[in-house]
Structure 1
Amino acid sequence: MNLLEAVEARHAARDYTDEPLTGDQIDALGNVIATINSDDGLDIQLVHDVDDAFGGCPTHYGRFKNVRNLIALIGPDHKDDSAAVLDEKIGHAGQFLALTAVSLGLDTSWVVLHETSEHDGAWTLGEDERMPAAIALGHANRPGRPHRSKPAEELGVVENGEYADAPAWFHNGIEAAMLAPSALGKQPFRFTLLADGHTVKAEALEGVQSEIGLGIAKLHFELGAGNGSFAWAA
Structure 2
Amino acid sequence: MDIIEAMGARHAVRDYTDEPIDDDALDALREAVAQANADGGLDIQLVHDDTDALGGCPTHYGRFRNVRYCIALIGRDGDDPDALDEKVGYWGERLALEAVRLGLDTGWVVLHETGDHEGRWTIGEGERMPAAIAVGHGARAGRPHRSKPVEELGALESGAFEDAPDWFVHGLEAVQLAPSALGKQPFRFTLLDDGRTVRAEALDGVQAHICLGVARLHFELGAGGDRFAWA
Q: For the superposition of Structure 1 and Structure 2, which TM-score range results when normalised by the shorter chain?
A: over 0.9
**What is the distance in 2 between the residues matched to 1:36 and 1:178?**
24
Preserved contact between residue 21 and residue 48 of structure 1 (Cα < 8 Å): no
Q: Deviations over 1:94-132 (max 9, x none)?
A: 000000000000000000000001111111111111000
Alignment of 1:153-192 (within 5 A): 153-192=151-190
Identity %: 68
Alignment of 1:214-233 (within 5 A): 214-233=212-231
Report deviation, 1:49. 4.4
Q: What secondary structure is seen at the aligned counterpart in 2 of 1:72?
A: strand
Preserved contact between residue 192 and residue 200 of structure 1 (Cα < 8 Å): yes
1:76 aligns to what? 76
* Structure 1 position 36 matched with structure 2 position 40: no
1:55 aligns to what? 55
1:123 aligns to what? 121
Preserved contact between residue 189 and residue 210 of structure 1 (Cα < 8 Å): yes
**What is the distance in 1 between the residues matched to 2:139 and 2:73?**
24
**What is the distance in 1 between the residues matched to 2:214 and 2:189?**
13
Q: What secondary structure is seen at the aligned counterpart in 2 of 1:229?
A: coil
Q: What secondary structure is seen at the aligned counterpart in 1 of 2:20?
A: coil
Preserved contact between residue 49 and residue 120 of structure 2 (Cα < 8 Å): no
After TM superposition, the score normalised by the length of structure 2 is 0.99
* Structure 1 position 210 matched with structure 2 position 208: yes
Runs of 5+ in structure 1 lacking a partner? none
The code of the aligned residue for 2:31 comes to N
**What is the distance in 2 between the residues matched to 1:50 and 1:75?**
25
2:6 aligns to what? 6
Preserved contact between residue 112 and residue 133 of structure 1 (Cα < 8 Å): yes
Alignment of 1:141-156 (within 5 A): 141-156=139-154
The code of the aligned residue for 1:70 comes to C
Report deviation, 1:50. 2.5
The code of the aligned residue for 1:165 comes to D
Preserved contact between residue 109 and residue 136 of structure 1 (Cα < 8 Å): yes
Q: Deviations over 1:137-157 (max 9, x none)?
A: 100011000111011101010
Q: How many residues align?
A: 231
1:112 aligns to what? 110
RMSD: 0.7
